[in-house]
Each structure stands twice: as structure tokens, then as C-alpha cells.
Structure 1
Amino acid sequence: MSRHSGSSRHRSHHSRSTEENPEDLVEQVKSIVTLLYEVVSSRPYEWEAYLPSARSAMRALDHLRFFRDPQRFAEQVWMLHGLQDYAFHDADSGCIHDIAEWCQAAWLRILRNYPDNVETLTGLGRNWLQRAQASLARIHREEGNDSSSQGSSSQAGTWPPRSLLDEDEDDADEELASPPADPRRQGPLYVEARGYLQPAVDFYARAVRSADALGCTTGDILASAAESQMSLGNVTGPPGDERHFAQAIRYLRSAEAVPGYTLSVYLQQYLNDYGRYVS
């Protein structure tokens, strides 16, 4: 009986000390997030060993109502990037769902205080885009397995859509036109992917508009916005896919024009190959 009461007193004292020293708790969380950054960059294969620490950091921040304080914006963003990168350490295989959802909710809390903040909008766009990666990877694997029997009609997002081809293009370009509509785009994987990608497209578009208004648009934001549009185009049937592919090209052109910025090899090739189809 005495051991039980002693334990209760200890827990009560610990609770009071935590309440009296919130900054100590914040510093502990920062140490955990610093470690998560290191894990993701250097040894992501060890991610599972750090799951209890990541979740304890989330609980501590919830206890402190940390993301309701508009004065701590820089710290909030830094912590969220660390936790979100950890949640999506292998996005093609999926994510740590509770941490990914927690990050999204935290970004939304910050957005209430800073509704046009570029970094917050970008963080939300990245959250949704990374959520889609597992669905996109599964689609790619399934289509790869079926390609011998399905032919080119199995490939999502064939570019450019027929409506974008100039009437005076020679016959050689006809092979680039969209194939017949693939009924699998109405399948559950495609629907799931679109459900993740539409918010990604929307948040990145808001981020670009805000950055443009502030004169702080970067090549990275534009490239990510283009990637979200390309991905959504890949899982959208014609003619809706045309709009997403065309917007991706426009973002890539803007990114290419940013002084000192270089597109990735993949995005540069995409722009070189298909930019001529978009006015």
C-alpha cells in the first residue's frame, strides 16, 4: 500500500514539475526531432527503433499546446518538417499513418494563424503528395506486371493528350496522342491516389500564389507544384488530365527561369520533351 502511494506521489510531483518547466519539455522534444532528422538522412532502415521517441515527442507537444502559439512559428515548422520526413521515410512503401496525420493537423493549426504562409502551405502540399506515393507506386507495379498484355493503354498519363497536338504536326507525332481511356482509372487505387493528390495540387497552388504575391517564389516550390500536377494527371482520365499536364509544364517553365535554380534531370527532360505542346 505504501509503495502504491509513494508511486502516486512521484507521478504527481513529476506532473507538477513538467507543468512548471515547459521549456525543458520543449528542449527534450527538440533533441528527439534532431535525432529523427539524423535517422532519416543517414540510417532510415533503423526507423522503427525511434518510433516510441517520435510518439512521445508528439504527446509532449500536444500537452503543451505548442502549435497554438503564434510566437513560435520557426520552431513549429522545424519540428514538423522533422517529424513529417520521419513519417514518410519510405513513402513508396507507405507511411507511419498516425504521425503523418498528426503532422497534417499541426500544419492546419499553424495555417489558422498564418493563412497565406508559403512554408505552411508547402508543408501541407508535401504531406498530401507524399501520402499519394504508396498508391502511385502500387499502380506503377501493377501496370508494369500487366504491360505485356495491356500494351500502351495501361500506362497512366500518356503525354500529350490528343487535343494538345497541333493540327499541322506530322504523322510521326500521332503515336504520342492519348490512347483510348483506361477503365482502370475508375478503380480503387486510382480513386485513392486522386483523393490524396487533389489536396496536394490545391495547397501547392496556394503556396505558389502566395509566394508570387510576396516576390519570394523559389524553384523548389514550383518544381514540387509541377510534380503534384503531373502525378494527378497520371491518375486522371482524358480529357481532365490535359489541364494538369499543361499546368505542370507552366510551373516547370517558371522554375527553369528562376535565377540559380536547376531542375532535376527528370523534370528538365519532361519539359524539353513536352513543353512544345503547351502555349
Structure 2
Amino acid sequence: MSRHSGSSRQRSHQSRSFDQEPEDLVEQVKSIVTLLYEVVTSCPHEWETYVPSARSAMTALDRIHFFRDPQRYDEQVWMLHGIQDFAYHDADSGCIRDMAEWCQAAWLRILRNNPENVETLTGLGRNWLQRSQATLARIHREEGSDSSSQGSGHLFDFDTAQDSDDDIASPPSDPRRQGPLYVEARGYLQPAVDFYGRAVRSADTLGSTTGDLLALAAESQMSLGNVTGPPGDERHFSHAIRYLRRAEGIPGYTLSIYLQQYLNDYGRYVS
């Protein structure tokens, strides 16, 4: 489904009453979600202007119980991605919390109809991973971590890794990892790891596993490893390396420079 439409930006961003037939509402919501995609892509600094429209769209979809209809799956996923991207337009600074939680609830509603659906599991994993970014960024700012947010904005731990045969990519023991920020980050990242893991297993069963999915699963494991004390951190880093190896082996797929660097630096420590 195209992210673009001929709807007028000036008309579309205004909050609407939605006193229409269900199908008319759906079409109107689609025009708003198209606009949200465009805002995130072209002018994210103007996000506040479009919050009323986004909330009106959410209200309309709830009113017609849109996410209960399994026949509209493709439309549901497209709308959820658009609203979720808007909710996390600047994930390092936080999110529009009610929208992020609404998307999570909608994904879960869809998941009930097909608990092994790869795209739905991936959507949930992405929701939790995006939610963690503000906490990870705050850890980096407030505690002067050597980790840095690069590429997709996730927290990687290259520089603090110990270069030894029995401890791959594991930072020195740090009592701060028991502090509230780290606990909060783990609370967001563990569901991300779980949902991405389920998505990979489902994709493997279907023979449809992609490099992008494996890379996201690896990033969730790496981020969780960065906020977990030893020995649990090593387990997460090892899982990440195995995902990256699989992604690297997919014909035509190329890892990002940061993930390739991680694999090159630490892959030799994982059998």
C-alpha cells in the first residue's frame, strides 16, 4: 500500500469528527496515516501539529473495532506502522506515550488471531525496542557510558569490550547496572528480545527469514546485553553474534557497517 496520497496537508492535519459510515472512516484514517508517514519522513520537527489528527484516527479505529477484523490484516499493519513511527518520531527523546501504548495494544489484538504471525511479532518487538531508546540515551548522557548510539540509534558496546577468549564483548562489571535506569531499560528490552526471537522462529518455520529481521533481533540482544551484568550479558552478546552470522550468510543481504564491525570484532569468540 502506498504511503502517499493526494490528500491536502492543510486539510488533513485538522482533527475530524468522523461522523461517517465505517468504510468512509477507514478511508479518512488512511489519508491521515499517509500524512503521518510523510511527516516522519520529511518534517519530523512539525510533529506536534499532527497529534490531534493522529489521536482522532486512533479514536475512529477503536470506534469501529477495526482491529478485530482478520480480513483487513494488511491495512491494519500499514496503519499501525504509520502511527507507531509517528509515536516514536524521535525515539532518543522519548515517545508520544498514549500512541505507543495504543499501537502495542492493537498489535496484541491482531496477534490473538494468529499468534505466530511474523510481521505482527516483529511489530511488537520493534515497539518495545523503540521504547527503550530514550532510556538508553539517558544512560549514555547521564552516566557518561563509553557506549554510543550509532546508525539506527541503538546502544552498542564496542569500546568497553574486554578482549579475551572467555568473555566476548562483555564490559567490566559495573554496579550501575543495578540502578533504576538499567532496570528500566531491561524492562523494555526483554520483551523486545522475546518478540523478535519468536518472529525469527516463526520465519524459520516458514522458510521466510530475512536479513533485516535477523539484524533487528541481534540489535535487541546487543542492547539488552549492554544493560545486563555478567554473566547474563555474555549470553545476549552470543545470541547477537549468531543472528548476525545468519544474516551475513543470506545472499544479497548486507549488514550495516556497525553490525558488521560488531561481528568482525567479536564473532571469533562465539563458536
Q: Displacement of 1:143 after TM fit?
A: 2.8
User: Could you say which residue in structure 1 is the equivalent of 2:115?
Assistant: 115
Change over 3 Å in CA distance of 1:198–1:145 after alignment to 2: closer
Does 2:229 align with 1:237?
Answer: yes
The equivalent position to 1:266 in structure 2, one of 233, 258, 266, is 258
- Distance in 2 (CA, whole Å) between partners of 1:73 and 1:177 is 41
Q: Displacement of 1:162 after TM fit?
A: 5.5
- Distance in 2 (CA, whole Å) between partners of 1:25 and 1:177 is 52
Q: Tell me if structure 1 keeps the 8 A contact 2:146–2:157.
A: no
User: Could you say which residue in structure 2 is the equivalent of 1:62?
Assistant: 62
Q: Tell me if structure 1 keeps the 8 A contact 2:116–2:202.
A: yes
Q: Tell me if structure 2 keeps the 8 A contact 1:162–1:178.
A: no
Q: Identity of counterpart residues, as a percentage?
A: 79
User: Could you say which residue in structure 2 is the equivalent of 1:197?
Assistant: 189
Q: Displacement of 1:225 after TM fit?
A: 0.2
- Distance in 2 (CA, whole Å) between partners of 1:52 and 1:76 is 20
Q: Displacement of 1:258 after TM fit?
A: 1.0
- Distance in 1 (CA, whole Å) between partners of 2:82 and 2:237 is 31
Secondary structure of the residue that 1:126 maps to in structure 2?
Answer: helix
- Distance in 2 (CA, whole Å) between partners of 1:239 and 1:250 is 18
Change over 3 Å in CA distance of 1:107–1:165 after alignment to 2: closer
- Distance in 1 (CA, whole Å) between partners of 2:133 and 2:58 is 24
Q: Displacement of 1:144 after TM fit?
A: 2.2
- Distance in 1 (CA, whole Å) between partners of 2:180 and 2:268 is 33
Does 2:166 align with 1:164?
Answer: yes
User: Could you say which residue in structure 2 is the equivalent of 1:106?
Assistant: 106
TM-score (norm 1): 0.84
Give the residue type in structure 2 aligned to 1:159.
A
Extract unaligned runs of 5+ from structure 1.
Answer: 1-13, 148-154, 167-175
Q: Displacement of 1:159 after TM fit?
A: 2.9
Give the residue type in structure 1 aligned to 2:186.
R
User: Could you say which residue in structure 2 is the equivalent of 1:221?
Assistant: 213
Change over 3 Å in CA distance of 1:146–1:205 after alignment to 2: closer
Give the residue type in structure 1 aligned to 2:59.
R
Q: Give per-residue Cα distances to partners, 1:166-199, cap 9 Å, x unaligned.
A: 9xxxxxxxxx7742x2111011100000000000
Q: 1:1-279 maps to which residues of 2 (within 5 A)? A: 18=20, 21-144=21-144, 158-160=160-162, 164-165=166-167, 178-179=171-172, 181-279=173-271
| Bigger mean CA offset, 157-166 vs 86-95 | 157-166
Q: Tell me if structure 1 keeps the 8 A contact 2:170–2:233.
A: no
TM-score (norm 2): 0.86
Secondary structure of the residue that 2:199 maps to in structure 1?
Answer: helix
Secondary structure of the residue that 2:258 maps to in structure 1?
Answer: helix
Q: Displacement of 1:160 after TM fit?
A: 4.9
- Distance in 2 (CA, whole Å) between partners of 1:35 and 1:177 is 43
Q: Tell me if structure 2 keeps the 8 A contact 1:162–1:177.
A: no
Which has the higher Rg, Structure 1 or Structure 2?
Answer: 1
- Distance in 2 (CA, whole Å) between partners of 1:259 and 1:115 is 29
Number of residues of Structure 1 aligned to a counterpart in Structure 2: 246
Q: Give per-residue Cα distances to partners, 1:55-101, cap 9 Å, x unaligned.
A: 00000000010000000000000000000000000000000000000
Extract unaligned runs of 5+ from structure 2.
Answer: 1-16, 148-155
Change over 3 Å in CA distance of 1:145–1:106 after alignment to 2: closer
Q: Tell me if structure 2 keeps the 8 A contact 1:156–1:235.
A: no
- Distance in 2 (CA, whole Å) between partners of 1:143 and 1:121 is 33
Q: CA RMSD in A?
A: 2.1
Q: Displacement of 1:146 after TM fit?
A: 9.3
Secondary structure of the residue that 1:25 maps to in structure 2?
Answer: helix
Give the residue type in structure 1 aligned to 2:54.
A
Q: Displacement of 1:161 after TM fit?
A: 7.9
- Distance in 2 (CA, whole Å) between partners of 1:93 and 1:66 is 30
Give the residue type in structure 1 aligned to 2:94.
G
Q: Displacement of 1:164 after TM fit?
A: 2.5
- Distance in 2 (CA, whole Å) between partners of 1:64 and 1:27 is 13
